[in-house]
Structure 1
Amino acid sequence: MANSSLSLSSLSLGGPRAVATTAAWQDARSSSSFFHCKSPASASKFGGSSLMRSSSSRGINDAKMNGVKARQPLRVTAVSAASHREFVLKDFHARRALKIISGLQNFNSDSVASVVTAAEKGGATHVDIACDPELVKLAISLTRLPVCVSAVDPEAFLTAVEAGAHMVEIGNYDSFYSTGRTFSSEEVTLAESLEWEGVDIIQTEGGTSSDPSRPGVHGLIEKAVPTLAAAYSISRAIKIPVMCASGVSIITAPMAIAVGAAGVGVGSAVNKLNDQVAMIAEVRSIANALGLPSHASKTNLAAAGV
């Protein structure tokens, strides 16, 4: 599995999410191999899990995941572009990834464009959008950052990857908790199994399951407790990078790194703002808190070929 690139993310009440870079996904179309991703799955008391895979990944046939049968087939194949994989994963390996999320169910092109622009100009390292080929084309026209697409149906990824998405992510049930979806407590074991199969990243979530008792900084910390606890627990059980998302803010982003995360995913702190300048400022503030270079610095480094 030396060439595989698969990432698992953990949600407080969620199932596995798969993310794949486009190179492998395109290769997958000519392969008979399948990666089997579990549909709404288990969650630990600290958090659930989402699975991510880069599209430069090798196919996995009938992953056993500690005896848990997978339900949804996600088609992937042999690695064809190590440089593509590095483009997607380098900031996770540097433990400073900042993924700005427009929303799993946000198909409004104007809203997505605003979030992507804020991510680009604010100094983020990745953007995460709904799984839609037209949104992918829009995103890659606005940013040079790796574009991740999220969905709960792995079969929806093909057209998004064909449109240019760099990663695919399945298993984010954060927006479905209010419908009554609940999960069992197998996430750490599942994370260990998927790491063995070639997973690259585990993303922890859980902000929607917390209910802060106080406003202000105290409330922001309370809201992030589930995802921080999951990151702490899971990062000590596996060797691949762990990413915190859901309930993360400028206050808690550095805490995520301190407890063992390799990066953070930020959604509502940015996408709920109505002003483009405010969005950019929020992304910039979180990027600064993580020690990321400014957009201007990135532009200068790119121009210098660094």
Structure 2
Amino acid sequence: MCGKKNLKIITGIDNFNVDQVVEIAKAADIAGATYIDVAANPIIVREVRKATNLPVCISSISLQDLYSAALEGIDVVEIGNYDYLYDNEIVFSRKQIVSLAQEAIKLFPNIDICVTIPHTLLLNDQIYLSCQLEQLGIKILQTEGINIKSPIKSSSLTEFMSKAYSSLSANYAISQAVKIPVIASSGMNLVSASLAILYGASGVGIATSVKDCINIYAKSIYIQELMNSMKKNKTISPSYYLSSIQNVNNLVV
């Protein structure tokens, strides 16, 4: 997970639907994704472990939840996914993130820790925080974009990039300042994922665009196509992305 062009499949920090999470995990395994990111919940971790041999990352901002889930056997701990905090107009300061990271390092001395850099911080503060975290011993960083919940309805490049531009710009700046891997997340799909690699990302975190596929076969085909675009540094057009989701779903119906 420390190389280039990693693909993390995210099932959702607040997704406790075991059947759905397991289906996504199986699709990720079939397609050969790098690892799977699930909610910090012991039952979820246990069932995913039964379904796949892929490395498992657990995400939460609760150290207690992370610790409980980690007892089931995980590979990466992630402090992150602040969307539900943003929904309640709560943001984390740089100092709070550093404090969480320090506590996580004490709790998980033998597990790689990833920290998501809040997009709510000014870019200079994001870079400074990233450098602080690297010095503390954090192994992976992740950038995030603005949380836009509306679905993509057109092939406008502007609409596609509105979901990812802040994550991409932060990734470019942070990857220049640190030596540890930086994962791009939020608004990633066939269009933005390959761009993220060109922007210096060591990998991409994908969530919604995989869930848009109707079943395990459609999900695995989509993940494979996405991985191919990343490996070839092949930029996909927005119109191709929209048609590909429909074509894949039609193929497996």
TM-score grouping bracket, smaller chain normalisation? 0.7 to 0.9
Residue segments in structure 2 that go unaligned for 5+ positions in a row: 92-119, 233-253
Q: Which secondary structure does the structure 1 equivalent of 2:191 belong to?
A: coil
**What code does the residue aligned with 1:173 have?**
Y
Q: Which secondary structure does the structure 2 equivalent of 1:165 belong to?
A: coil
Q: Which secondary structure does the structure 2 equivalent of 1:236 belong to?
A: helix
Cα deviation 1:139-167 (Å, max 9, x = unaligned): 11111111001111012122211111111
1:268 corresponds to which residue?
A: 208
Aligned residues: 201
1:161 corresponds to which residue?
A: 70
Residue segments in structure 1 that go unaligned for 5+ positions in a row: 1-88, 293-306
Higher relative contact order (CA 8 A, sep 6+): 1
Provide the aligned C-alpha RMSD in A: 2.1
The alpha-carbon deviation at position 272 of structure 1 amounts to: 3.7
2:40 to 123, 131, 142: 131
**What code does the residue aligned with 1:133 have?**
P
Q: Give 1:69-218 correspondences, 5 Å limit.
A: 89=1, 92-93=2-3, 95-182=4-91, 183-185=120-122, 186-208=125-147, 215-216=154-155, 218=157
Conservation of the 8 A alpha-carbon contact between 1:217 and 1:251: no
> Within the alignment, does 1:243 sit opposite 2:183 as a pair?
yes
Conservation of the 8 A alpha-carbon contact between 2:126 and 2:170: no
Give the alignment's TM-score, normalised by structure 1: 0.61
**What code does the residue aligned with 1:263 have?**
G
Q: Which secondary structure does the structure 1 equivalent of 2:228 belong to?
A: helix
Distance 2:134 2:6 in 1: 19
Higher mean C-alpha deviation, range 150-159 or range 126-135: 150-159
- Relative distance call for 1:257 and 1:184 in structure 2 (3 A) is closer
Conservation of the 8 A alpha-carbon contact between 1:244 and 1:256: yes
Distance 2:57 2:215 in 1: 23
2:235 corresponds to which residue?
A: none
Identify the structure with the greater helix proportion.
2
Q: Which secondary structure does the structure 1 equivalent of 2:165 belong to?
A: helix
- Relative distance call for 1:190 and 1:209 in structure 2 (3 A) is farther
Conservation of the 8 A alpha-carbon contact between 2:152 and 2:160: no
Distance 2:121 2:44 in 1: 33
Cα deviation 1:109-164 (Å, max 9, x = unaligned): 01101110111112210100001111111111111111001111012122211111
Give the alignment's TM-score, normalised by structure 2: 0.74
